[in-house]
Chain A
Amino acid sequence: MVKGKVHPYIPNSEEGVKKEMLKELGLKSAEDIFEAIPERLRFRGTMKLPEPILSEARLRRHVEEMLKKNKNCKDNISFLGGGCWQHYVPSVCDTIAARDEFLTAYVGEAYSDHGKFQALFETASMIADLTGFEACNTPTYDWASAAAMAGRMACRTKGRRRILVGEDMSPGRFQVVRNYWKPEIEIARVKYDYEKGCMDLKDLKSKISDETAAVYFENPSYLGFIETGVREIVKIAHEAGAFVIAGVDPISLGVLEGPGNYGADYAVGDYQPLGLHIGFGGNQSGWVATKDEKDMIAEYPSLLYGVTATMKEGEWGFGEVFYERTSYASREKGKDFVGTTTALYGIVAGVYMALMGPQGFKELGEGIMQRAEYAKRKIAGIPKVTIASPGAFTFKELLIGFSATGKTVKEINKALLASKIFGGKDISGEFPVYGQSALYCITEMHAKEDIDKLVTALTDVCAD
């Protein structure tokens, strides 16, 4: 070991113990075992890694100093969203996320990991309640992969190969979906009504056919608008025999209707807003919810945890539902593939949903909409600054136009940094139709004074 030291994580690196074990094996060193690897395949060089920092104290200092080069959304006021949103993370969520039992368990069955099964069953149950469905999978990688998964499920169930996708879809998510749907699924984009902030239903009607497996839209959209034409979209899709997949921000579902309740066939979304820190975009975690119908359940690639009874009267037991579907059971004949995803994040989101309850979701949603509306009105009053589709309904994200200021979003955001403000996501490259525009996210984290500070700073920056 390093300079003759015993590594604290490796008990058998202690020379005496190691020697005793080797002696039992009649070996001199691990090299006697590695002789199973032919010399031509051996790496005889030295991996050029940084010198190790052996003490925990110095290791902590090293990493902390590196991270200090960052500026965070706690010490600054951030208006960034676009799929990763800063909401309040209750202390209980952090407490459960840090439990070594959940943190370090893996693929054990319910007999040793009963709590894991029950926790994920409860998370799925609460997503089902919010979305208006009766089935939900164990977590996916993120919303994007959930959307991709639902699309592939829909195609298999329908025996069709075409999916219509709103052109307002989050560009990041669309890049994921486009790769996942290769090679067999054809994607057609449905026009967005950029004036009104909703799907162009005329274009939807013109593109849908008996080859369409599903129509996918997001609500609220990436651009922040609430899709109010949901029932028309469902009607048009169902008349063509196609499914509807709604991508939703679950934190909006205290005020917005669950997709299952307006006739959608799948809902997909992310757990991140439900009790997970923004963590540089690394804490995303997705889910798919559907009706509990055999032909839909049969197409899930994910593990599904079901509740059942044990031999002990009155005791809840859990197990894997319809396991044969999965690639763990059936390799390439399984449905797509299943693997390690983001289970812990799903568990934490369950804690969040139970803490909030129906009233919490309602109050939170109402409060966010009020703050966003307040911000919208104040920002609209700044000379040369515009609000896109001002008549459209929005939830927590506002699309703000700066073209008339003669400044780019990049310049404006750079200037805002001086006031310790992270301005909205620049979408001028993604949606040039809006000119120099940025997506501003307002949540319950923003107090009135934060919004006022933004308005003051924007007024100054845009007047320069």
Chain B
Amino acid sequence: MRAFWRNRGAAIGAILLAFVFTLAASAPLLFPGSPWDMAGAPFSPPGEDGFLLGSDSLGRDVAAGIAHGAFVSLLVGAVSTVAALGIGVAIGAVAGTFGGWVDDAAMRFTELFQTVPGFVLAVVLVAIFTPSLGSIVFAIAIVSWPPVARVVRAEFLSLRSREFVQAAEVLGRSRFSIVLRDILPNALGPIVVLASLMVAGAILLEAALSFLGLGDPNRMSWGFMIGQGRSVIRLAWWMSVFPGLALFLTVLALNLVGEGLTDALNPRVARRR
């Protein structure tokens, strides 16, 4: 933990991330009412007409949109990562534990997903299931689990040959208990690091989907705001720049945290700094 905070980039990332969290949590208090409602004159520049970050073509408050959009971004990022972890860990663990033809079959199945371009698959899935928070989360999870399965499998394979796992085998413990108590806890490090980077990836993917108009029509989202501001960027730059900046900072923060975690969980790298 101390190693994490000593890394300046990771500390900045964590603070940024905490700020985004607070923003998402306090959005209903800071900006009561729906971010879709008209709040004043359209195309007001930042700082005028009571709009901190300006208003959009329909007079909606950009600041309110960013605050409410933060909630959607974090929610989609977190839930789809948890779902992807669930699928990836399960498949990777089965492949790594049983080996042999089970491993071969599981890995070929994983490769099937890796060969399809992730974004295209996500677009198709959301289009088929009609855009909603649920279908977006589902689509993102489906396209982002293969790396998890690969990492978990590799960790399991290396841990399985470690002596403490062999000792557990000799004691006659069940496979399930060995996986749960001996292997999985020792494989958590890389999984946690991967997860923090996957949240960033999921947020970007969600933004990209809603940029294309495949977002949840009832939820304000950063990608949607950028997409909407795109056509009037010369007229009202603030409509796309501020949501873009929010997106950039959040993803940057997650990457910094992920890198900090890598270093903190890998003592050999941490000590060299």
Partners in one complex: no
Chain B residues within 8 Å of A, Cβ to Cβ: none
